[in-house]
Structure 1
Amino acid sequence: MTTILHLIDTTGPGGAETVFTNLLEELEQTDFRNIVVLRGEGWVADRVRGLGITPHIIDSKGSFNLAYVSALRQLIASERVELIHAHLLGSNVYGALLALVCRKPMIATFHGAVDVASRERFLRAKFFLIGRGASAIVCVSKRLQQELADRSPLSTHKLKLIYNGVDPRAFRGAPASGLKEELGLPQDVTLVVSIGNIRPAKGYEYLVDAAIIMAERDPKVHFVVVGHQKEALFNKLMDQVAKAPRKPNIHWLGFRDDVADILRQADIFLLPSVSEGFSISTVEAMMAGVPVVATRSGGPEEIITDGVSGILVPVKDAGAIVVAVQTMMNESRRKSVIGEARRSAIERFSLQSMLTRYKEIYRQLVK
C-alpha cells in the first residue's frame, strides 16, 4: 500500500479545496493510504473528517516556517510516506523542499493564475525550488500550463495537464425546489446563478453592472450569488449597488453547502470572472443541465464551445453579459445548449477521469 502525504495552503471553501477533498474521497476507495496535513481548522478539515480521515493540523504561519518543515519531516518518516502531493503555491514550495530533503517524489498542483501572480514575494526563488523538488507539476488548464511555461523557470517536460473533475452523480435525482420561495420570489422569475467566493478575480462588479442594466430591461431577471463574502470587496459591491439609478435584483447568499441543489434550480449560470484557471462551478452547471454564460477569462474557453455548449463573452463587459443572458432565455436555444453541455462535461471533466490521470502519475513516480 502506497502512502501519500497531501498538503494544501488554505482551509476553504473554494474550487481548489473542493478538488482536494473530492480527490481524497476517490482515493479512499483505492489501495492508496492518505495522510492529510492542514494549516488550520475550517471547511476543508470538516470535509476531510467526513471522509473518515483525521487530518494533522500543523500551523505554518510565516514566509518560511522551519518548525513546520521539521514537523512534516518527522511525519513523513513516522508514517513512511512514499509520495508527496501538494496544492497551491505555498504548499507546493514546502512540498518541493521536503521532497529534496527526504528524497521523495512529489507532485505540485497549480489551480489558477493567482498561483503565478507576479506580485508574489520571491516568486522566482519559489519556482526554482518547485522546479528542483517536484517530480511532476500539474496544471488544471492549458492556459495555466502555457503561463507557467512562459513566465516561470519550471521545466516544461515536468508540466502535466489534468482537468479538475466533477462527480455527475451529485446532479441526478428529482428536481430541486425551494430557492424562489426562500428568496420570496414568484415562480415566473428567471434566476441567473453565480457560484464563487467574492474576490477580485471573480469580476462581480461586472455582474452588478449587468444586473443594473437588466433591472431596466427585464425586472423579472434576478441574479443570485453564492460564495464567501470578503468584507472589503463586498462593501465596495454594496456601494456600487447603492449608487445605481434603479436597484438591481441581486441576492447575496454567502457560503452555502447546498450548491448542487441551488444549481439545479438555476435558469442560467453566469461566470463573470476576469481571470479563471479552471471553473469547477461551470462544469457543475453543465452537468446540472443549466445553460452557461461565461467570460473568456482563461479556463472557460477550454470548457465551453461558444454557441454550442454555452455562450462566451468578453471579460469586463456587462453589456455583453446582458445580451447573452437574454439570448439564453430563449427556450429553443436553451434546449440545444443543455444536451451538448452535459454530454461534453461528463465525457471530458468527470471525477473519474481526473482520478485516473492522477493515479497514473502516482504509480509512475512510486515505481
Structure 2
Amino acid sequence: MKICIVTHKLIKGDGQGRVNYEIASAAIRNGYQVTLIATQIDSKLQNHPLVEWVYIPVKIFPSVFLRNLAFSWQSTKWLKTYRKNLDIVVINGAINSFPADINIAHFVHSSWLQSPFHISKQRKNLYGFYQWFYTFLNSYWEKRSFAIAKLVVAVSKKVKDELIEIGVPSEKIQVIFNGVDLEEFSPGYVKRQKIVLPENVTLAMFAGDIRTNRKNLDTVLKALVELPNLHLAVLGNVQNSPYPKMAEDLGISQRVHFLGYRVDVAQIMQTVDMFVFPSRYEACTLVLLEAIASGLPVITAKITGGSEVITSECGILLNSTEDVSELSKALERLTSDRNLREQMGKAGRAIAEQHSWESKAERYLHLFEELIAS
C-alpha cells in the first residue's frame, strides 16, 4: 500500500502533527510506502527507506495565513501530478483543495467562529478582525474539503457532532479518538526542586496557550483565590499573556508559578498532584489523556473536547466553564483528599491504557485497507 499524508508537520510536539506521525510510523512498521507532503517531519522519518518526503518550503512568507496559502497551492499541485501513483491520500482539514480519500478533522472552524469566546468577539480591533477573517476562510475551505473527501475521520465525538452540524453526512464520518504515549506519560515521581517548584504544598497544573482566553486560565486563577493552600504550575508562553498580571492583581502571584513553554511536560506532570483544564473550546486536546496516563486526577468541563474519556472515577467534570464557585469546590475536594487523588489517578491510568497511540494508528491503517478493498 502506498500512503500519502498531507500536513504541515509530522512531529511529536504538535497535536495534529502527532496524529500523523503515529500513522506514518505504523505504516512503516507494516512495510507500507509512505509519502509525506510537509514542511517539517521528525528526524526518525527523514531517512527511512520507505519514506519519501516532499518538502514544502513556506518560511519566506511573513504570516501564518500566507504560509498556509502557499502550502495549499504547492501540495495541491504536487498531488495533481502524482496522485495516480498513490493508493490512499490523507489530508487534514482545509490544508489544501485536493479531493482526499480520508480527511482527518482535528478542529471545526465553523464551531469556533460561533463561540462567544472567539478572539474576534473579545478584541474589537484589527487583530480581532484578522482572526475573524482567518477563521471564516478556514470555515469555508474546510466545508469544501470535507464535502469532497470519501471519508472523514473525527478525532472525538464532539468533532463528529460539529461536522454533522455543518452538513457532513453522519454515515461518512468515523471517530478515531486521539492517543497517548504510555511510556512517556506514566505515573512517577520527579523532585520539584528540579523544575523549580515548591515542595510540601499541594500543586495543581494547567497547560495550554495562555495568550488568549480560550483555554480559560482566568477562571482557574479566580477559583484559586478561595484556596490559600493550593499552588498552581502554569505551562504556556507568557509573552503577551495577560495572566501574570491577573495573578498579581488577585493577590495570588506567590502561589502561581509560570513556567513558560516547556518540552518536559511529562516530567512536570510527575511533580504535581492534579491537572485542571476547563477549556472553553477544544476539539480533542491531547493533554487530558497525557494527564490521566501520568496518574493525575483531572478537573475539566463537559464541553471541553477530549472530556468524553474522563469519568467520575478519574476526574471531575464541570457543568460550566464560567462557574468559579463550582471550579473552586472541585479543586478543594481534591486538595483536601489525598486518598481520592490517588484513587482517581489509578483509575485514570487504566483508562489511558485503552488509548495507546499504537492502537489508534492501527485503526487508521485498518480503515485505509477497508477503503482500498471497497
Indicate whether the TM-score tops 0.5.
Answer: yes
- Correspondence for 1:73 among 40, 60, 77: 77
Residues 265-304 of structure 1 mapped to structure 2, 5 A cutoff: 265-304=271-310
Aligned amino acid, residue 352 of structure 1 = E
Partner of 2:179: 165
Residues 327-338 of structure 1 mapped to structure 2, 5 A cutoff: 327-329=333-335, 330-338=337-345
Higher deviation after alignment, 266-275 or 57-66: 57-66
> 1: distance between equivalents of 2:307 and 2:156?
10
CA positional deviation for 1:30: 2.1
> 1: distance between equivalents of 2:356 and 2:71?
38
- From the two aligned structures, give the one with the greater helix fraction: 1
| Structure 1 residue 324 corresponds to structure 2 residue 330 | yes
| Structure 1 residue 224 corresponds to structure 2 residue 233 | yes
Residues 300-319 of structure 1 mapped to structure 2, 5 A cutoff: 300-306=306-312, 308-313=313-318, 314-319=320-325
Percent identity between matched residues is: 20
Residues 125-274 of structure 1 mapped to structure 2, 5 A cutoff: 125-150=140-165, 152-172=166-186, 175-185=188-198, 187-198=199-210, 199-214=212-227, 217-218=228-229, 221-229=230-238, 231-232=239-240, 234=241, 236-274=242-280
CA positional deviation for 1:140: 1.3
Q: Secondary structure at the match of 1:170?
A: coil
Aligned amino acid, residue 154 of structure 1 = V
Distance 1:76 1:83, change over 3 A: farther
> 1: distance between equivalents of 2:46 and 2:251?
52
Q: Quick check: 1:8–1:86 contact (8 Å CA) kept in 2? A: no
Q: Secondary structure at the match of 2:184?
A: helix
CA positional deviation for 1:309: 1.7
Partner of 2:33: 33
Higher deviation after alignment, 73-82 or 312-321: 73-82
CA positional deviation for 1:209: 1.5
Question: How many pairs does the alignment contain?
Answer: 339
Higher deviation after alignment, 17-26 or 275-284: 17-26
Q: Quick check: 1:131–1:153 contact (8 Å CA) kept in 2? A: no
The one-character-per-residue Cα deviations of 1:210-236 (angstroms, maximum 9, x if unpaired) are 23332xx32xx221122334x44x1x2
Distance 1:142 1:358, change over 3 A: same
| Structure 1 residue 109 corresponds to structure 2 residue 104 | yes
Partner of 1:340: 347
Q: Quick check: 2:56–2:74 contact (8 Å CA) kept in 1? A: no
Distance 1:2 1:67, change over 3 A: closer
> Unpaired segments of 5 or more residues in structure 2?
48-52, 114-131
Q: Secondary structure at the match of 2:295?
A: coil
The one-character-per-residue Cα deviations of 1:82-107 (angstroms, maximum 9, x if unpaired) are 322222x331xx1xx322xxxxx422
Higher deviation after alignment, 273-282 or 75-84: 75-84
CA positional deviation for 1:168: 1.2
Distance 1:184 1:13, change over 3 A: closer
Higher deviation after alignment, 324-333 or 285-294: 324-333
Aligned amino acid, residue 57 of structure 1 = I
The one-character-per-residue Cα deviations of 1:84-143 (angstroms, maximum 9, x if unpaired) are 2222x331xx1xx322xxxxx422112234464335324664244223421111111112
RMSD: 2.9
Distance 1:128 1:160, change over 3 A: same
> Unpaired segments of 5 or more residues in structure 1?
40-44, 100-104
Higher deviation after alignment, 132-141 or 20-29: 20-29
